[in-house]
Structures are given as C-alpha cells and as structure tokens.
Structure 1
Amino acid sequence: MTDFTLNAEVRSDLGKGASRRLRRNAAQVPAVIYGGNQEPVSISILAKEIAKLLENEAAYAHVIELSVGSTKHNVLVKALQRHPAKGHILHADFIRVVAGQKLTAKVPVHFMNQEAAVKKGGEISHTETELEVSCLPKDLPEFIEVDLANAEIGTIIHLSDVKAPKGVEFVALAHGNDLAVANVHAPRVQVEDEAAGEGEGAAE
C-alpha cells in the first residue's frame, strides 16, 4: 500500500516548551497523528528522517507507513509548520488513512509540454501548483498532469480541462469552482512595448 516509511516514538511531554526542548536537545520534530475514528497520538520523529523523506515530492501526496513502536499507521501528511527563515520543519500533522474510505489530499501539478507553448511565443503562468483531490487510498495519484502542448497565446487552462486519473475527483469542481490552473499569455515586454506605442500615437 505504501513505498514510504517513517519511524516515530510516542511523545508524552507536551506543550510549547517541551516541543522546543525536543527540537533543540534531541534533533526531533514533534508531530500528531489523528483521524480514522481514533484518538490523536502525539509523537516525535528524527528531524533528519522526515527531512530526507520530504526531499521526494511524491511523499506529500503518498500514503506513508508510520511505525510508532510496534504499531503501524497508514497516514498522509496533512500540514507542516516550517521555520520562517531556515525552512526546516517545526511540527507535522498526519491524518490516518483507512482502506476503503475516501480521503482528500493536495497533489502536486506537473505541467507537460511547456516548451510547445513557449515556441509559439507565449509565456506560461502557473496559477495552481497543487490540486485538492478526493479518492480512495489505492487511487491516490502522486501528481496531476496538465498538458500544454496545444495551448495558444490567450489560452486559460481551467480545472474542467484537466483529465482526472481514474477514481479521482477534483474537490474544487465538486463545489462548483472551476479554477484557472494555468494561462498562456504574450510576453510582458511585448505587452509593455505595445502599450508604449499606443501612448506615443495618442500624444501625436
């Protein structure tokens, strides 16, 4: 069910002061597992282990096998708190995954064939870099592909234009929100030059 694993320990010393001591003295990250109709569990994870895991983009949208002593939990990364300047993880929230029960998760977007749009003279703006999906754990994709091969200048790619993998539903669409995922526009310099030219014409 998973290709990603982490080891953790139960954490009984709670509170902000305890969390600071944990990070400073033991090089560990405080975290919580919740959901799945079970009580939340406070845990700690070696900072270097969770940092290594999250070097792989797929880990953010993949079921992780989290071992706490002899108990194994299938979880997803739900939220991360990072240091505002250094970027390292200060706290992690994991949500339990239950086989046969739908889950929601944010999945990275991979934009394909961008060079085709660029060759046509366009510039690409990525308005969404991740999308929230709903699906069974077995259907959770590591990423969503958005193909820009046929995109012309002036094209806006909406969520409804993106093909969802089998068994996957876009949460925003289910709520009637057809997000703009990307758009192809004329280069900014060209737009500014044309605007300047129009201004000069008006002055004459």
Structure 2
Amino acid sequence: MSEHTIKATSRNVEGKGASRRLRRAAQLPAIVYGGKSAPQAIQIEHEQIWLASHHEWFYSSILNLDIDGKVEQVLLRDMQRHPYKQLIMHLDFQRVDASQALRTKVQLHFLNQEKSPAGKTSGVVITHELTEVEVSCLPKDLPEAIEVDLGELAVGAVVHLSDLKLPPGVELPALKLGKEHDVAVVIAKHAKEEEEGDAAAPAAAEVPATKAAKKDDK
C-alpha cells in the first residue's frame, strides 16, 4: 500500500466568517475526528487538496495527515465542493486505529473486458452495475482498488459480489447479510434482451391501473 501525506496546520478560529477568510487566502477548512482524541479544526492549502482530489488514492487510502509536524493516519470521510466553481469547500477526516477493522468504499477496476468472449461478441452489452464496494479490513490491508478480471466473461454471464477476488484480510460486509445481498456487479447480455426488458416494464405497470379503472366504473 502506497503512502500519501497531506500537510496541514491547526486553526483556533472557527465559524463561517473564518472559513470564508481562509478560502480567500487559498486555504481550505477541515476537521479531523475519531479515535481517543478530541475533534481538531485544521487548514490545508487548497491547491494541495485540489491536485490530490484527481487521484483515486485520495478517496480510498489511509492518508498520513501531518498537522504541525505531528502525523496521524486518517481516512477521508466527506468532501464538500462548490456547486459550480472548481473549489473544494470543506473536508472531514477520520482517525484510524491500526488495530481496529474499518469499513469504507473502494473502487472497482475492470480488466480485460474487450478481450473476453462477451466483449468480442457483436450486439452484447456489458454493464457495470457497481463501480465501488464497501469493504471491511484492518488499515494495513486496505486496497486502493479491487481488480475485476473480465477476461473469461461469457455472453449471458453475471458476476456477483461473491465472485470478486479480494486481497488478503479484506471482506465484503454485504455478503454476511444473506444471499439476497450478493448482488450483480457485471452483467453481459444481448442488446435485444435489454430492449425487451425495458419495453416490458411499462406494460406491467399499466395492468394495476387498468384494473383500478374497472373497479371505479362499477
């Protein structure tokens, strides 16, 4: 697992006015919480976070948060963006304990789709039902992403959560909730099947309405 460090400084003044002043100075207000320590307000250079936000590791890796020279391990838990400007408004970081399992979402990387039997078959649509999954693991085992090799994907095949090959020490909490939570991750089917399914949905929806209308006539 690669290490990534974010440099920050502590701040004593909070509130909307203080946050606006920080942003005008190209600084970003943030907070770090969790663990045995009290929540701490911090500030970070906006450019540093803006550049980091373009990398997948920023969202799913354990980060080394260097606050005034003291390093804590954290996970990004929330990021608020400006509705239309290219600005990040606020960040929430959660401290992690090396001895305790954590739960967070990890991106899925789909490999070899074009080389698969389904990918080489004309008229077949391959849909990615999920692009990320929630995992549970110790901080040291947290992967930046989970690879899904679709090299053998056949026409009509469905890849479920239980089919994913997980790194050592990583679990999917959803699979402990029952078979109904073993949802599809990837589906490969003919485009005609997809069109027929879409066409059937409105027809099915019209049946109850028709029955209801007949009841009202009586």
Flag the 1:73–1:85 CA change in 2: closer, same or farther, 3 A. Answer: same
Whether 2:16 is the aligned partner of 1:16: answer yes
Aligned partner of residue 148 in structure 2, secondary structure: strand
Residue in 2 aligned with 1:139?
Answer: 141
Unmatched 5+ residue regions in structure 1? 196-204
* Segments of 4+ moved more than 6 angstroms: none
The structure in which a higher percent of residues are strand is 1
Whether 2:119 is the aligned partner of 1:118: answer yes
Q: Give % identity.
A: 47
Q: Deviations over 1:140-187 (max 9, x none)?
A: 111011121222233222101112111000122233321321212223
The Cα of 1:188 is off from its aligned counterpart by: 6.2
CA RMSD, aligned part only? 2.1
Residue in 2 aligned with 1:201?
Answer: none
Residue in 1 aligned with 2:80?
Answer: 81
Whether 2:189 is the aligned partner of 1:185: answer yes
Larger radius of gyration: 2
Scaled by the length of structure 1, what TM-score is found? 0.85
The one-letter amino acid of 2:173's match is: V
Q: Deviations over 1:73-97 (max 9, x none)?
A: 1111111111222353211111111
Q: Is the 8 A contact 1:107 1:144 kept in 2?
A: yes
Unmatched 5+ residue regions in structure 2? 200-218
Residue in 2 aligned with 1:47?
Answer: 46
**Would you say how many aligned residue pairs link Structure 1 and Structure 2?**
192
Q: Deviations over 1:109-146 (max 9, x none)?
A: 00111102321232221121111111011111110111
The Cα of 1:2 is off from its aligned counterpart by: 5.4
Q: Is the 8 A contact 1:75 1:97 kept in 2?
A: yes
Residue in 1 aligned with 2:213?
Answer: none
The one-letter amino acid of 1:7's match is: K
Structure 2 CA distance, aligned partners of 1:78 and 1:188?
A: 41
